[in-house]
């Protein structure tokens, strides 16, 4: 398994949250998928903490990537973390689509919902229900392949591996 530091490479002058919330140049889905895959592969190579903790943390990164929101968000009455915000939205009727970053094309909505489902498994309250990192990587590779295929069919250019 390759270990790349895509988050650090891509975001050398800021944070993931800053880049996601930049309204002038929002990150495309393929860039977000590159970051997710790089981080997943890096997490899989790391043997620090427990894998269940790593998977949970990675689930938070996935939520940031598909919502376009920071991990910690100031709200009118209180500060709320992204996990709580997503769980509240999901418990509301038909609120799942409100979770997805509106800056990502609607043509990728199914793929984003797939990544949301994966992120929710990663942040499961029951650690034993969380997927293994190799399963996360395989799931992301599948979504990434689909996104790249859809971009080719629609005539969009793919991103380069250089940032």
114 is in which domain, residue-wise? 6-153
In a domain, 160, yes or no: no
Number of structural domains, the chain? 1
Is 1 contained in some domain? no
Instruction: Give yes or no for residue 162 having a pLDDT over 80.
Output: no
Burial (0-12, 13-18, 19+ Cβ within 10 Å), 63: buried
Phi-psi region of 79 (alpha: psi -120 to 50; beta: other; left: phi over 0): beta
| CATH at residue 139 | 1.10.510.10
Whole-model pTM? 0.68
Residue 101 lies in a domain: yes
For residue 110, tell me if it sits in a domain: yes
Does any domain span residue 97?
yes
- 80 DSSP 8-state letter: E
Mean pLDDT over each residue of the chain, to the nearest integer: 75
Within a domain: 44: yes
Burial class (CB in 10 A: 0-12, 13-18, 19+), 57: middle
pLDDT (0 to 100) of residue 132: 92
pLDDT digits (tens, 9 = 90+) for 45-79: 555 557 777 888 889 989 998 998 888 776 667 77
């Amino acid at each position: 398994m390759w270990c790349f530091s895509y988050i650090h490479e891509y975001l050398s002058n800021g944070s993931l949250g800053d880049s996601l919330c930049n309204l002038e140049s929002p990150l495309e889905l393929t860039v977000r998928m590159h970051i997710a895959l790089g981080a997943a592969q890096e997490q899989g190579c790391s043997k620090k903490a427990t894998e269940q903790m790593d998977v949970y943390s990675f689930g938070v990164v996935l939520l940031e990537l598909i919502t376009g929101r920071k991990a910690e968000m100031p709200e009118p009455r209180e500060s709320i973390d992204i996990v709580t915000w997503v769980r509240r939205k999901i418990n509301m009727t038909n609120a799942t689509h409100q979770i997805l970053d509106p800056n990502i094309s609607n043509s990728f909505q199914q793929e984003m919902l797939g990544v949301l489902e994966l992120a929710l498994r990663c942040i499961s309250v029951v650690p034993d229900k969380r997927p293994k990192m190799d399963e996360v990587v395989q799931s992301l590779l599948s979504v990434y392949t689909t996104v790249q295929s859809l971009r080719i069919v629609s005539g969009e250019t793919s991103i380069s591996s250089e940032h």
